[in-house]
Homo-oligomer: A and B are copies of this chain.
Amino acid sequence: MQHTGFHQDDIVELLDTNDVHAIGAVFAAAHPADIADTLESLTPANRPLVWAQIPDKLKGEVLSELSEGVFKDLATEIDQKQLVDSIKSLDVDDIADLVNDLPEETYEDVLVAIDSDIRDSLGEVLSFPENSAGGLMDLDATAVRDNITLDVVLRFLRLKNELPAQTDSIYLVNRNQRLTGILPIDKLITSPAEDLAGKHIIDNPVIFNSLDHEEDVAKAFADYDLVSAPVVDENNRLIGRITIDDVVDVIREQAEHDIMAAAGLKNEADIFAPVTKTSRNRTLWLGINLITALLGSWVIGIFEGSIQELVALAVLMPIVASMGGNAGTQTLTVVIRGMSMGTISGSNVRNVLIKESLVGVLNGLLWAAVTAIIAAIWFQNLHLGLVIACAMLVNLIMGAIAGVLIPTLLEKVNIDPALAGGVALTTVTDVVGYFSVLGLATLLLL
């Protein structure tokens, strides 16, 4: 890639040699996103020092590129006057993203510092839920009246002298500000200048309502290859536009959410958050896990007598639980993905359930046979091998069924399957795994 940037390790090195002014020189030519990455990779103690070296005109942009956790932390550590000045310089939608994470007093200071018309716009943006089209939109939509010629549009744009980033189309509105069409910039350039603007609008355009969910916005951008799209209010009045750069952030955040949720993590964007805060963040999840583990132990406890008679059961039972958990997690992962991509829905869950169960049977038979042989040889006990094999088959089928049904049920009761699916599944496969090994052994061997 050809692009003048810098390496984070350069900054660490300059920090080590205490050459803070050289850091400023590096930052002067850098992109705010790269500076933000660097701040995030530093320990909290070093961040204010490095922050002070960022050129003033970049400070605002750097703030908007920071992850929420790091921004919150930094915002309490640095000069508040400078913080307000940096935020003041941003676009309204960027200000809106930051103000809720500010210390109360600084929030007030920002409101005082910005112009009154920006304050009004800010109020409007903040009135929408953060994960809605309204919360995601910029207010810099370029709109012209729909009854003018392309030539007039071009002259109007030339007067503006520059267009907002990611402007791939101009919005046409009537005199009541109602959106009447979308004029792509390339049509504007390549069509005869005397044509009416309305002649070249897009067929069947994608237009968002202010309360559309950001996930639907992201799917539409990805499916329809959009660069920008207008947002309208309930009266079809143009109130803003959504651009692909913000949608890319949404897509990345969603992916991160799914990955983090599976481990019970949230708000962990700052790898160097204080230890006590991180512990607190994670501990509830461990508590939930303890309860589910106790459930498994309770099942084992029922069969204490059987274990005492045949200790091999204690040696082998974790294998059955673990294999069921792994096979089930495979099914669960495929089903959650299918649900979020829209390929699995009410109408075909039954087909998925049948297919996954059959996969469970096939893999169950294979690995049950292998495990049976190992167990029979290890403990010189053919019947023990057969019991383990049966239990394994039962648990892999159970894992498949649970892997399909758990996310389907969780979605019905509005619990995020990415968050709760894994723990629910392994609870089932642990309990069924222990129960089938110990129960079958008690019934058939002892």
Contacts and interface: CB of A to CB of B under 8 A. Distances in A.
Interface of A: 1-4, 8-9, 12, 29, 31, 33-34, 37, 40-43, 154, 157-158, 160-163, 165-168, 185-191, 204-209, 212, 216-217, 220-225, 227, 232, 244-245, 247-249, 251-252, 254-256, 258-260, 262-265, 268, 271-272, 275-276, 278-279, 282-283, 285-287, 289-290, 292-294, 296-297, 300-301, 304, 307-308, 311-312, 314-316, 318-319, 321-323, 326-327, 329-330, 332-334, 337-338, 341-348, 351-352, 355, 358-359, 362-363, 366-367, 370-371, 374, 378, 430
Given A163-B190, A363-B279, A351 B224 contact: no
A165 B31 CA distance: 27
Contacts of A316: 297
Contacts of A34: 223
A346 B157 CA distance: 49
B209 A276 contact: no
Interface pairs A-B: 3 shortest CB-CB: A255-B255, A163-B186, A314-B314
A268 B329 CA distance: 14
A154 B154 CA distance: 12
Nearest to A9: B347
Nearest to A11: B347
| Number of this chain's copies in the complex | 2
Contact of A311 (B308, B319, B334): B308
Contact of A333 (B1, B222, B260, B342): B260
A389 to B, nearest CB: 13
Contacts of A248: 221-222, 244, 247-248, 251
Contacts of A227: 166, 168, 227, 244
Contacts of A326: 263-264, 285-286, 289
Given A2-B207, A207-B1, A363-B286, A252 B222 contact: yes
B342 A319 contact: no
A133 to B, nearest CB: 8
Contacts of A31: 223-224
B311 A304 contact: yes
Given A259-B259, A308-B308, 18 more contacts: A12-B347, A41-B347, A157-B190, A160-B190, A166-B168, A254-B255, A259-B262, A260-B337, A265-B334, A271-B338, A271-B352, A279-B362, A279-B363, A287-B370, A296-B318, A300-B314, A304-B311, A304-B312
26 contacts: A1-B220, A9-B345, A40-B341, A42-B348, A43-B348, A154-B189, A157-B190, A158-B189, A162-B186, A168-B168, A244-B244, A244-B248, A254-B255, A260-B334, A263-B333, A271-B334, A282-B330, A286-B327, A289-B323, A290-B319, A290-B367, A290-B371, A292-B322, A297-B318, A304-B312, A322-B430
A8 B341 CA distance: 12
A41 to B, nearest CB: 4
Contacts of A43: 348, 351
A310 B319 CA distance: 21
Contact of A158 (B190, B271, B342, B359): B190
Nearest to A370: B290
